[in-house]
Amino acid sequence: MDNPFVIFSLEILRVTGIQLLSVFGIFFFLGFLLSLFESWTNHNYLQTFGWKGILWTAWLGTPFHELGHYIFAKLFRHNVEEVALFEPNAETGGLGHVEHSYKKSSIYQTLGNFFIGAAPMLFGVGILTLLVYFILPNGKDILNVLLDSRHSLVSLLQTVPQVFLMIFSKINMSSWYFWLFLYISFAISAHIAPSSYDRKGMWSGFLWIVIVMLLVNITAILLRQDITSYVLRSAGYLNIFTAITLYALLMSIIHYLFTLFIFAPIRMIKYKYNHPLR
């Protein structure tokens, strides 16, 4: 293949793909898993206790979810029309909402749709990080370990078991505030994933992120500059985000297993009551 334009185009697509995958790949993957476990957990609550079962964590987790939307909507200069941090509706299944609008002619505001949709994860991980730092006695040590392992995803994954052992240490588990920390983590993690409505709104913003990165890479290659190594180094700092998100995922998995097995006898009794033998 000797066509210079084709070679140039393929190189642009290659480096842009690598950059997008390094920055956003793990985000989409973990977001998908969080959304999956959230759906399964809510299903178990509905089967066991009905609609009110979801409210056990929603009363605390939903306001953080919606507050994330609100903060990022303001950051990207959207017009916020209505905010309901916690407004459960059994008929629609809604727990809260942030209504906002934007100028479609504004690239900045359109690009912001991605971050506004992803805000529950971004804001939720930030809150979990603050909880680790301020509530756990060894919180600073935990975050320092994460900082030291930020240079590669492999080193981060090797560090994750150590971090979990530090969080669930005997000293921490002997204190009442650890269990408060654990419940808050449950509540936030149970509602940290972007909803299906949030995900629909993200794509217009992500499209503009792709366009901007394509233009940046075209300019960089024409100037004989390779920014991929810089992007990969910068993505290393996202490993801290990844580690805390993995903690949120662990909480979601534990929460799901709790509702699956601990509530199983209640579901069986409820089923037998509703389906008596004739």
Q: Tell me, yes or no, whether 34 lies in a domain.
A: yes
pLDDT for the residue 75? 96
Q: What is the pLDDT of residues 35-53, one digit of tens each?
A: 999 999 988 888 888 888 8
- Report the alpha-carbon distance of residue 188 to residue 233 in Å, rounded: 30
pLDDT at 207: 93
Q: Is residue 250 part of a domain?
A: yes
Q: Is residue 222 part of a domain?
A: yes
- Domain residue limits at 212: 22-264
In a domain, 257, yes or no: yes
Q: Is residue 16 part of a domain?
A: no
Nearest to 160 by CA among 243, 42, 102: 243
Residue 151: what pLDDT? 60
Confirm whether 1 is domain-assigned.
no
Domain assignment present for residue 50? The answer is yes
How much is the pLDDT for 120?
A: 94
Instruction: Point out the residues of the chain with pLDDT beneath 70.
Output: 1-2, 149-153, 156, 271, 273, 275-278
**Which single residue is written with the structure tokens 């075209």?**
218
| Within a domain: 234 | yes
At residue 144, the pLDDT reads: 83
Looking only at the bridges linking them, the beta strands covering 97-101 and 79-84 are antiparallel
**Six-digit token pair at 155?**
């080193």
Q: What is this structure's pTM?
A: 0.86
Q: What is the reported pLDDT for 59?
A: 95
Q: Tokens for 41?
A: 């957990």
Looking at the 3D structure of the chain, how many domains does it have? 1
